[in-house]
Amino acid sequence: MVVRERERERERERERERESEREREREREMGAERERARERERGGGAGRDTDVKDERERGKERRVKRERARKEERERERERERERERERERERERERERERERKRERERDRERETERERERERERERERERERERERGRHGQNAMRCDIASHY
């Protein structure tokens, strides 16, 4: 739980870092744009050349920016995929744990059943013993009666 929270915090931190980087990039872009606007206002002999050069420069900057954004997006997607994989792994682990628990429960049930069976067997044995005692007792009494009778 704590690990997941730390990971989320790190991800938020990385996102804030990327956002501030994009903000700085926008600032630089705006600064460069203002600079170019001042340059155009000032005029100058080779104005058109610098405009073409500026346009080429801006195109390159836009390409670089687009590439950077695509790269960041791919990185975020990879991170999301890793997170999904970690979640699937945790789910598999929970499932294995539930399976182990079910197995332990079945084992305990078997043990309880075996114990009940043993108890029933002991009870039957005690019952047979009592039955034998009753039989011996009956014979014993009869023998005694016979003995007593023979004395007379």
pLDDT class for 2, splitting at 50, 70, 90?
Answer: confident
- CA–CA dist 68, 76 (Å, integer): 12
Nearest to 71 by CA among 27, 21, 30, 26: 21
pLDDT band at 17 (very low <50, low <70, confident <90, very high): very high
What is the mean predicted confidence (pLDDT) over 54-83? 94
Q: Which residue has the tokens 């945790």?
A: 90
Mean pLDDT confidence for 42-53: 64
Percent over 70 (pLDDT), the chain = 85
Question: Does the global pTM surpass 0.85?
Answer: no
Q: What is the percentage of the chain residues whose pLDDT exceeds 90?
A: 61
- 50 or 71, which is more confident: 71
- Pairwise pLDDT comparison (142 vs 107), residue with the higher score: 107
Q: What's the pLDDT at 135? A: 83
Instruction: Name the pLDDT band for 32 (thresholds 50, 70, 90).
Output: confident
- What's the number of CA atoms in the CB half-sphere (13 Å) around residue 27? 6
CA angle 68–65–76, rounded 5-degree value: 30
DSSP string, the chain: -HHHHHHHHHHHHHHHHHHHHHHHHHHHHHHHHHHHHHHHHH--TTHHHHHHHHHHHHHHHHHHHHHHHHHHHHHHHHHHHHHHHHHHHHHHHHHHHHHHHHHHHHHHHHHHHHHHHHHHHHHHHHHHHHHHHHHHHHHHHHHHHHHHHHH-
